Amino acid sequence: MTTTPPIQWVPNERAGSITDSKAVAANFPDGIFEQTRAFHQQVPGYQISPLRKLSHLATMLGLGGIWVKDESVRLNLNSFKVLGGSFAIYQFIKRRLGKEEERLSFEELISEETRAELGGLTFATATDGNHGRGVAWAAEQLKCRAVIYVHKDTSPARIQAIENYGATVHIVDGTYDDAVRRAGEEADAHGWQVISDTSWEGYEDVPRWVMQGYTTMLSETQDELDSHGLVKPTHVFVQAGVGALAAAVAGFYSSRFGADRPTHVVVEPATADCLYESARIGDGAPHDVGGDLQTIMAGLACGEPSPIAWGVLWDCVDAFVSSPDYVAAKGMRVYGVPLAGDPFIVSGESGAVTLGALTFVADDARFSDLKDYLRLGPDSQVLLINSEGNTDPDYFRRVVWEGANSVPIDYRKEMSAV
């Protein structure tokens, strides 16, 4: 049996020539980063998630620094996703009230007066777990109903986490993309509002608001880096499903720094690498991938890119990487068993794939072509986003305790005798 290599990659050299992306300007207008952060700062329980530094691992890999934005502690929801879902619901309610140009307080949103004016609202979405949990939490906070659609392979733990916030969960016999279609159909039939992180023709405002909501963690990151004397990271490795998170990252840094933005690398599961495939085809259009999309990276198991996200990524991402499951599993173990002096980080499968990929790119001569292309070296300050914590405890233990999805022998690093 042929082993899938840990890194397959496609360069996007055109991104380096684009200094003023129309896609970035359309999706991240002036003032939006301040607006999203101002909204989230008033949400009950809001705290800045930590930026953790893996100094000793960076030294081992020959890098200047590795910084990890740890979203596993965001609002005790184990994921960054609530930032996008809550901001999208906020923007939708403002539009419904005819107050798009106003900044409503959280107290105004949940007031009896607002509820009476809105009537009964139901929010629907499809999810692999984290986005649905965030939407359910936000809906509960706003005293609205949530109906969440999950695909048949969603773990019971992730379903229970959604139901804990009062949402109704429906299991769809198909993939995540099938669940997206089902949620849209049911919402149309019942008059519900879809809060999705992926876009399609005629449905772009809500997923745009979701992407904008994610930028709060990047505004926080910049403040935290500034406290360490850094203006910005030199490189960002970011994971992708439909591409909303990756587009938020690329859009934020491209908007803030223009041609001087960090080098961006997008990492996807090898069995659901629609963005990688779109870049490989290279005609500027988003392309779907088929199959059952099976991967331990449940939050990234998407075969159809979000068109509005793809527009940003095509303009701003320097390389697209496709990695098999064992890369994510390695990342989980590296986070969980750190070098002496580095912080311990709990990371789920989707959260850890970028760290796993970085270790192979930086420390395996077989991928020196990508390392050279990215100009990774001792002056590099690399930002990673731990997008989720332990969202599936049973599988987390299989990986971390029992060594599931171990690195194939051909790609294991030889360790020096002590």
Q: Is 81 a catalytic residue?
A: yes
What is the residue-wise DSSP string for 107-157?
HHHTSHHHHHHH-S-EEEEEESSHHHHHHHHHHHHTT-EEEEEEETT--HH
What would you measure as the largest C-alpha separation in the chain, in angstroms?
70
What is the number of other CB atoms lying within 10 angstroms of the CB of residue 16? Answer: 12
φ, ψ for residue 317, nearest 5 deg: -90, 130
Q: Is 197 a catalytic residue?
A: no
Counting beta carbons within 10 angstroms of the beta carbon of residue 226, is it exposed (0 to 12), middle (13 to 18) or buried (19 or more)? exposed
The residue written with tokens 């965001």 in the block is 74
| Of the candidates 367, 363, 320, 298, the residue with the CA atom closest to the CA atom of residue 5 | 367
What is the number of other CB atoms lying within 10 angstroms of the CB of residue 232? Answer: 17
Q: How far apart are CA 163 and CA 183, in angstroms?
A: 17
Q: Which residue of the set 69, 70, 128, 197 is catalytic?
A: 128
What is the residue-wise DSSP string for 226-255?
HHTT-SS-SEEEEE-SSSHHHHHHHHHHHH
Is 167:132 a contact under the CB 8 Å cutoff?
Answer: yes
Q: Which residue of the set 69, 70, 81, 318 is catalytic?
A: 81
Question: Half-sphere exposure of residue 272, counting CA atoms within 13 Å on the CB side?
Answer: 26
By annotation, the residues acting in catalysis are 81, 128
